[in-house]
Structure 1
Amino acid sequence: MSLKNSPLQQFSVRAGVIVTTIAAAVIGFAGSAGAVPGDPVVQFTPTLTRVPGNCAAIINAETVPQPQSGTFGVRVKITQSGQNCSPYFVGVSWKNLDSGATNGQVHPVDANGVLQQAPDGVITGFGTAPGTGKVEAWLVTYSEHYPQPKELEHLSGRATFTLR
């Protein structure tokens, strides 16, 4: 007997997401971001997403100060549940509310929910350099990024902070 698309399976996935959300909110991030006094360390609201396969994920994130002025990093912690999960992508998008500039950066996530190409789970690089000013950033999940981005169903986590 297959549970494919059954109400019991849908309830199980939803219940798992709710329990995982509560656990992630209670546990939070371990350790500090190593901030220099005055640098922004801001928590994103949680990102909830469906993952390819029969999976869901909660993505918690926080800004990580960088040594260069006008740049930021994002520490990502993914809590994934379900079966037959497939790889996907997590992107950080931003808009500098003072200058109007926008950009972002995308990184792959393996089938186990581990962020790839991001040492210590921190996304950095050219796509995280909005310059000084007030910045709004949000997380986006994709099933495929190239040649054309295909967003997964998700509720984006957001954060607003000021870079010096």
Structure 2
Amino acid sequence: MRFSPALAASSLLVLLASCVGPPSRTPAPARALPAPPPAPQASPAPPPPPALAWEDRALTPGSWSYRQDAGGSAALFGSAGQSLFTLRCDPASRRITALRAGAGQGAMVIRTSYGAVSWPATLDAGAQPQVIATRAATDSALDQMAYSRGKIGVEVQGLSPLIVPAWAEVARVVEDCRG
């Protein structure tokens, strides 16, 4: 038998191949568990309800009354004998005074279906504090109050707003003052 280098090389390859062990089995990847659901997040607080426009707010409980005395006439809005808002005519000066019960400050804002006006006002801090605004009887805002569609808003800083019905008593006082 003859020694052939090609045969020796192939034999060596066969020998080397037989020295290799069986292929290692890599373990199958562990079955992945589904990811836990995300922790529930606290839902944000609901937004506050939108502020109602003044004309959409409920009327302030109470009713208007009209009275006439030696000093002129007055329209009073309130309940149980307590006036929350008063329009008083001084016929001698032809001026109308608006009085809002309570210790507020700043201007008195009157809202009607025609728009809003701001009247300068002062605080009378007497035994029964009230905010006072005085206007000429010819002020067009008084007509707007008398003919407002359904409601009149009265706002003074520091006091809760009043939403009063637009009744005839307002027009009576204005007419009384205009003569």
Say yes or no: TM over 0.5: no
Determine which structure has more spread, i.e. the larger CA radius of gyration: 2
Whose strand fraction is larger, Structure 1's or Structure 2's?
1
TM-score of the superposition, structure 2-length normalised? 0.33
Q: Greater relative contact order (Cα 8 A, min sep 6): structure 1 or 2?
A: 1
TM-score of the superposition, structure 1-length normalised? 0.36
